[in-house]
Amino acid sequence: MSKPTFQIVTTDGQAHIQGRFQTGTFTELGGEAPRLESYEHDGDFLVLCYEHGFRQIIPEHRIKYIACLNQD
């Protein structure tokens, strides 16, 4: 994967970076650690979209900031 274009940081200090593997919950569910591909807003939630169809939903009040690299 090329250079990440976004990073999401939560109020508890977790960093979710495009292209990085997410371990923990997904591997506990029996899957492999998927890479973060994109994110989308859904009402009061931010949905992190990982490869293999995995989704992680975070309430917007837990988002500290989203840093994006402008691709234009």
Q: What is the pLDDT of residues 24-39, one digit of tens each?
A: 666 566 667 788 999 9
Per DSSP, the residues of 21-66 read B--SHHHHTT---PBEEEEEEETTEEEEEEGGG-EEEEEGGGEEEE
Give this prediction's pTM. 0.81
Q: What is the pLDDT of residues 11-24, one digit of tens each?
A: 999 999 999 887 66
Where do the domains of the chain lie?
6-68
